[in-house]
Structure 1
């Protein structure tokens, strides 16, 4: 697991750097229009979801390590093309390769963790999430430096660094030692879309995906709402992100360690969702508070939200292992990821509506919906057949 943790951290640094500078690199350095960039990013996201489904199936039938390594190699090819993507055709190919590589890595990574860690898969994933969060933060910080310099050479250097991280991770992935496919009792039904007929799991996946809109609250909705209601406090959006990162790194392993059973995971998911919903109420209240009190409420919101996110993630990660057959982990993870991908695509529009049109009522509605969705999981969980992770 040490090597996998290194891969996760290194890859996260590169991805955090790339995510911070990519849009301005595409428009300012490569000279592409925002319309073209948006279209390519959307196509890449759709391809990533398709590649995730195929990669999940292959991870279960051929083994997760070669699929995961292939995803890193395809991403490496995409980053290489991105260095010279001034031509529209090259830019489109580079973007699609990047999306396909990301998709191949997604579900195969979860299957890889389960194969490699066995009975310790839940805690292993919590540890890797900590490395992921820290790596993304470090990459984002480096990206901020690139944005401060704002020269073509700085942007190209950032893309090259991300390329090197993919190369390094691909080499390390080839040295991972992964046990063979878990032994099974009765054969499982095959087929790329078989998982979608598991209605209990898919209902949980849909609930989790709808709540996952919260992932876009801090980077997207918070600065917009502050700019509309407390313009002088807009800078606190960055502080809220820092608070979220620090608490995530410090508390995630501890939160997962407290989830000792399937029922515990369900309760953790419920508590996390309700806590996130409560944080929205605090943030909505901030809009009508005096300046000093509003600043305090933003920080209180950031703490409550971050605690809820950590607890929710602990329950969700545990359930993704406990209610899934080990030999089909890749396919189930791909289906779960597809639901989250669709929700992620819709999240900016939904949150934009909450902020611009809904106002205070919008935040109250979002809080109520989040709590209601979280409360549905214990009902769905009554019919889950929890199984050991290893």
Structure 2
């Protein structure tokens, strides 16, 4: 190859590297997200059926198991973040992926209720820890491009969920206990695969561990404690409210359609597909609107409008016939999906920008509590909105919109003082 050919080849390689923040490591982590979420999609679709028909649990037992698992899982985010400030993040993430794999496989070995609860709880704890560790890795490896990388990661994850759901649908068509067991095996295998892939990822620099191990910095620098940071804790509380769009899609739409009696029940599946398609198509383009801290904070204004519109259109679906209900519920699903994408973009940037460099893991771990708390409080908020009818849904959307305004003001002074939280870094590819 001549000199010009070598230059062209290098240029093409550089261009490919710029497409994915973090270069080769960024691409590997996207592959990990695809494998992880595909496995999770396999299991999520049949977990209740497995526990009911294979393990023989009653409805009350399944509900209690889910509640206990969710409660234990809350500890996963702060635990994973705290450990990642002290040890290499790739090793910590690998360990939690192996924990998830072992917990999934252990479900196959017993029908004892106490053991099933324990295995499910450990699996949920590992899942929440892995989520925050993946975000922390993106923060460190992608630097200022972290929002764009998170958008790509979320798009790939949604595609993985869809693939896993298709596989689960095929197994459900068989309807045998063996098919359910193989789906659980597939879930565990995905975690083993992600653990192996994670070991191949380069370890990004950690400001926290750099400070802790440096011999030339003089007196030891004490990492900031997020549990004593009242501004950040208040921010996490607002994040819990802004994450309620998740509860709308998990239970709100199906319950509202079932109890209102206007729209056809089959609309639920259509709207869930619509949600996934919109996220895959528009998450990355929307993320470009929030690539700076100021821009991300500015997105809280249209985010408030999206939440208010979602609640209002859901309320309007209560009156009229099937066509009117279908149109307004679909409009509401679109508005809440837009809110979901905007809130994710804002959250990726502000959660990091508000955190000190030397305590990123601990801070992001505490931030992860917002999603865990929402999983517990979200169903209550949504069922309250449904019980309140049109007024309930209007209040639901308006309350979240007001919380957007509160967060907009809450972070203003802090962000004026905060430096760029993550400078560009060079990560070893070995």
Query: How high is the TM-score relative to the length of structure 1?
Result: 0.93
Q: What does 1:1-390 align with in structure 2 at a 5 Å threshold? A: 1-182=26-207, 189-190=222-223, 194-355=225-386, 357-385=387-415, 386-388=418-420, 389-390=422-423
Q: Which is further off, 6-15 or 377-386?
A: 377-386
> Structure 1 stretch 37-46 or stretch 361-370: which is displaced more?
37-46
- Which whole-Å CA distance do the structure 1 matches of 2:263 and 2:75 have between them? 43
- Which stretch shows the higher mean deviation, 175-184 or 57-66? 175-184
User: Distance in 2 between the 1:80 and 1:335 partners?
Assistant: 29
Q: Work out the CA distance in 1 between the residues paired with 2:190 and 2:391.
A: 44
What is the CA distance between 1:187 and its match in structure 2?
A: 5.9
Distance 1:376 1:292, change over 3 A: same
Match of 1:384, SS? helix
Higher mean alpha-carbon deviation, 243-252 vs 320-329, is at 320-329
State whether residues 211 and 273 of structure 1, in contact with CA within 8 Å, keep that contact through their aligned partners in structure 2.
no
Contact persistence 1:274–1:370 (CA under 8 A): no
In the aligned structure 2, how far is the partner of 1:207 from the partner of 1:321? Answer: 15
Over 6 Å off, 4+ runs: none
Post-superposition shift, 1:283? 1.4
Aligned to 2:14: none
Cα distance in 1, alignment partners of residues 322 and 236 from structure 2: 40
CA separation of 1:142 and 1:320: change in aligned 2, threshold 3 A: same
For 2:77 and 2:339, the matched residues in 1 are separated by 28
Q: Identify if the C-alpha distance between structure 1 residues 324 and 190 changes in structure 2 by more than 3 Å, giving closer, same or farther.
A: closer
Alpha carbons of structure 1 residues 188 and 376: separation in structure 2 relative to 1, 3 Å: farther
| Aligned residue-pair number | 387
Query: C-alpha displacement at 1:325, in angstroms?
Result: 2.1
Distance 1:294 1:188, change over 3 A: farther
How far residue 231 of structure 1 moved from its aligned partner, in angstroms, is 4.4
The answer to whether the 8 A contact 2:90-2:199 is kept is yes
SS of 2:244's equivalent in the other structure is helix
CA contact (8 A) 2:303 2:342 kept: yes
Cα distance, 1:232–1:303 mapped onto 2, change above 3 Å: closer
* Structure 1 residue 235: Cα displacement: 1.2
Structure 2's unaligned 5+ residue stretches are 1-25, 212-216, 424-430
SS at match of 2:413: coil
* Separation of aligned partners in 2, 1:137 and 1:387: 38
Distance 2:238 2:71 in 1: 21
Distance, in Å, in 1 between the alignment partners of 2:195 and 2:389 is 46
Partner Cα separation in structure 2 for residue 44 and residue 294 of structure 1: 36
Q: Contact 1:12 / 1:132 at 8 angstroms: preserved in 2?
A: yes
Structure 1's 339 and 306: CA in aligned 2 closer, same or farther, altered over 3 A?
A: closer
* Matched-pair contact (CA < 8 Å) for 1:236–1:298: no
Between the aligned partners of 2:137 and 2:220, the Cα distance in structure 1 is: 21
Q: Which has the larger radius of gyration?
A: 2
- Contact 1:17–1:140 (CA<8 Å) still a contact in 2? yes
Between the aligned partners of 2:349 and 2:221, the Cα distance in structure 1 is 22
User: Closer, same or farther in 2 for the Cα pair 1:358/1:15, shift >3 Å?
Assistant: same
